[in-house]
Structure 1
Amino acid sequence: MTKWIDITQTLTNDMAHWPGDRPFTYEVAATKEQTGSANVGKITTSVHMGTHVDSPFHFDNDGITMEQIPIETYIGKAKVIDVSSYHTITPEVLRDYNLEDVERLLLHTSLPNNPKRFPEEIPLLDPSIAAYLASKGILLLGIDMPSVDPITSKSLDTHHALYKHGIHILENLMLDNVSPGLYELIALPLRIAGADGSPVRAVIRPIKGDMANA
């Protein structure tokens, strides 16, 4: 049986976080000795720590929240493509890849996977890719960066463009050691009522016979 590949950032107390955002912490809040029966852990975190999804409410007050997004969005066939030779990803770049019958697209960019260092700059996703991806029937865009927009962006143009075209967002994937090709994807968010995002456990499994022509 083909093994699943974990493409999730491990949540650790020393991982990087957005400047000004709440860092991730885990602690044993009550020990087995204290409770008499079990260790009980406690976490504090932003919902945008590590590998996570955004709901439209993250950047639009009228946008839907996590529990309103169909769970099928995050389960199914996905294609990984390598765009690491480009600093700016545009529709012209994406036209070089076969995206027919692809509903979930995962981009391996030039940003090295390093959860303990928050990048000052990341490759750029031109907002115009949203219309192109929608024309191909894509409903989920995953990236190995902390955002689909520049780190300093306040307008979040690519977030808004993707939402306008019905494309959901999955960020901070670990793709450095993943080969281009077709995979099964499971990236389930927590069912948090009213939430603007959620951490996920993202895993992929190669689809036999479909790992070429990426």
Structure 2
Amino acid sequence: MANWIDISQPLTNDMAHWPGDTPFRYSLTYSKEETGSVNIGQMTASLHTGTHVDAPFHYDSKGKTIDMLDLERYIGEAVVVDVSQHDEINMDVLKKADLKGKTRVLLKTSLPNNPKNFPDNMPTIAPDVAAYLQEKGVTLLGVDIPSVDQTDSKELATHHALYNHGINILENIMLDHVETGVYELIALPLAIHGADGSPVRAVIRPLDIEERNR
């Protein structure tokens, strides 16, 4: 069996965060020397830190929170698609990829995976991908950029388009070291009651033809 590949950003005190949002911080609350038995740590962070899942409540106050989402969408076969030749990823770009029978799509864009740098510019995911992905039966879209919308967007057109077409969102995965192809994905969000998102540990492993045909 092939080894698992980590496609999540490591959580470090010097990692980049969304401008104006809460940065990630980990520290020891009590040391083993203080307690006599254990080290006990604490962390603070935005729920959209590093590799994370957006809940619909993030951009729709009436949408489902993270603890209400279908976990099946974050476990199973996924296809990694290279769209790094395009500054805008739209329906026409995705039509060039073989998405037949694929319910989870992970997009490898031109943005270098650098967890310690928040990009000034990043590729655009056009809203029209949502209807096309739904037509193909896709229920999860993963991207290796901080957001499916641009940093300065207030309308969040692509977030809403994906939501309206029944497609969940996984952001800030790392695919620079990953070849295109079919994988098994595990990217489970935490069951944080009432929350708008959750960091995840996202991992994939290559699937051979026999496994894909089971």
Q: Could you tell me the TM-score, scaled by structure 2's length?
A: 0.97
Pairwise CA distance, 1:116: 0.3
- Aligned equivalent of 1:189: 189
Pairwise CA distance, 1:37: 1.1
Q: For structure 2, list consecutive stretches of 5 or more residues without a partner in the other structure.
A: none
- Structure 2 counterpart SS, 1:134: helix
Deviations along 1:106-126, whole A, 9 cap, x unmatched?
000000000000001110011
**Which residues of 2 match residues 145-156 of structure 1 at below 5 A?**
145-156=145-156
| Structure-2 separation of matches of 1:32 and 1:192 | 29
- Aligned equivalent of 1:206: 206
2:29 is aligned with what amino acid? A
- Aligned equivalent of 1:99: 99
Q: Could you tell me the TM-score, scaled by structure 1's length?
A: 0.97
Deviations along 1:59-101, whole A, 9 cap, x unmatched?
0000000111011110000000000000001111111111000
| Structure-2 separation of matches of 1:138 and 1:97 | 13
CA RMSD of aligned residues (A): 0.8
**Which residues of 2 match residues 29-178 of structure 1 at below 5 A?**
29-178=29-178
- Structure 2 counterpart SS, 1:170: strand
Deviations along 1:174-212, whole A, 9 cap, x unmatched?
1001000000000011000100000000000000138xx
| Structure-1 separation of matches of 2:114 and 2:32 | 34
- Structure 1 counterpart SS, 2:17: coil
Deviations along 1:130-168, whole A, 9 cap, x unmatched?
000000000000000000001110110000000000000
| Structure-2 separation of matches of 1:91 and 1:17 | 29
| Structure-2 separation of matches of 1:47 and 1:58 | 10
| Structure-2 separation of matches of 1:209 and 1:135 | 24
1:106 is aligned with what amino acid? L
2:190 is aligned with what amino acid? L
Q: For structure 1, list consecutive stretches of 5 or more residues without a partner in the other structure.
A: none
- Structure 2 counterpart SS, 1:60: coil
| Structure-1 separation of matches of 2:60 and 2:130 | 17
- Aligned equivalent of 1:11: 11
Deviations along 1:24-57, whole A, 9 cap, x unmatched?
0000110011111100000000000000000000
- Structure 2 counterpart SS, 1:16: coil
| Structure-2 separation of matches of 1:135 and 1:193 | 32
1:188 is aligned with what amino acid? L
